[in-house]
Amino acid sequence: MSTVEMGPMDLDRQVNLTLENDYRSLIDSSIPVCCTNSTTPSFVHLPPDLEDSTKLIGVQIVLIVAYCTIILLGVIGNSLVIYVVFKFKTLRTVTNFFIANLAVADLLVNTLCLPFTLIYTLRDEWKFGQVLCFMVPYAQGLAVHVSTVTLTVIALDRHRCIVYHFETKMSKETCFIVIGITWMISAVLASPLAIFREYGTFHISPDKSIQFCTEKWSDNNRDGTVYSISMLLLQYVLPLSIISFAYIRIWSKLKNHVSPGEGNVRHHRRRKTTKMLVTVVVVFAVSWLPFHAFQLGIDIDNNVLDMKNFKLVYTIFHVIAMCSTFANPFLYGWMNNNYRNAFITVFKCEQRVDSIHLEGQVEFSTKKKTLEAEDIANANGHSTKRHPTYV
């Protein structure tokens, strides 16, 4: 099962494992069974105690509310982040461009993943045609890879600037090149999700059929398991290891570093920004951990697929993972004055943008004015004593 695909469509290898045998037994016999190891429709109704719990009205209402809330908050929040980064000049920094790229990936998840996931979960049948069968899983995998690669790039860029004291920051041109490379790498990593896929129609009876969209791997899906575990390492374990190493070194450097004057203002700003970015990574890691752990369990032992409430448990873990797609804008607004001021300006429909300052800019500007006032006083023969921090 591929770890980069999103939503109950990730269960389609489960469909592959049981589709042929279960459907044949369904047609060739009158035994009232359904595809108990798949997320395809329950063609023959089972006893109530064995029915899929996601078919319960109460459960469906909760899932609809949860997914719609995530979609709404994600679309509004990520769109707002993208808008303010490109609207306000003071927010057009390299780090903020990477944050905007992360918001674009989350926005793709909100629009290209969750609506299809919700409908697929409730209907148990692929209703979106052949083209979307290939494009939707690919777009979903692409967006998740972009998110993890972008978080890694942000951590490495800050590590380069802070730990090694590279005063020459990455140029905006280089930043956009890196973003382009990020999308190309992600496109390659997600390509198997479109290549190894099958769309078709299964005829249950002469007058009834369903459409399915599944992964199509060779060697009894062993290739799918290899790809899944490889993506788990490349998409989750390896990036988080690199990010953790980078931020541990950054935090150690900032903790032991003290600078006077303007350097202290910059140091304080770096600490606050780093704290925000670390929180974003922690939220991402914690949100996705149950989902990845469950999928790893499926890859190791297919008996997990026989759980009575397998589909419900899987969907709950997916909802938790998707919370990371709308959490970031709230974190930016809570932990960063620049974004908070920009959001307030947008919501107040203000046209002035000069009220948005780089964090610490107002503080340093005040200190600069103090120094100028002291210089004027000294020139007029008045004695003033400068605080050594301001020098």
What are 141-172's pLDDT values in tens digits?
999 999 999 999 999 988 888 887 665 678 88
What is the sign of the dihedral through the CA atoms of 294, 299, 303 and 306?
positive
The model's pTM: 0.75
Per-residue pLDDT band for 372 (boundaries 50, 70, 90) equals very low
pLDDT at 104: 95
CA distance linking residue 21 with residue 29, whole number of Å: 12
- φ/ψ region of 124 (left if φ > 0, alpha if ψ in -120 to 50, else beta) reads left
Per-residue pLDDT band for 120 (boundaries 50, 70, 90) equals confident
268-286: average pLDDT: 85
pLDDT at 159: 86
Per-domain residue ranges of the chain: 7-351, 360-391
CA dihedral 84, 89, 93, 98 (to 10 degrees): 30
- The better pLDDT of the pair 74, 120 is held by 74
Per-residue pLDDT band for 382 (boundaries 50, 70, 90) equals very low
Q: Which two tokens stand for residue 117?
A: 């996931």
CA distance linking residue 355 with residue 276, whole number of Å: 22
Per-residue pLDDT band for 121 (boundaries 50, 70, 90) equals confident
How does pLDDT run across 313-351, given as a tens digit for each residue?
889 999 999 999 999 898 888 888 888 889 988 888 765
pLDDT at residue 47 is higher than 70: no
- The label of the residue with tokens 């919501």 reads 347
Q: Which of 207, 304, 278 is nearest to 11 (CA)?
A: 304
Least confident of 86-95, 164-173, 372-381: 372-381
pLDDT at residue 37 is higher than 50: no
Supply the CATH classification number for the domain 7-351: 1.20.1070.10
Query: Within a 10 A sphere around the Cβ of 213, how many other Cβ atoms?
Result: 24
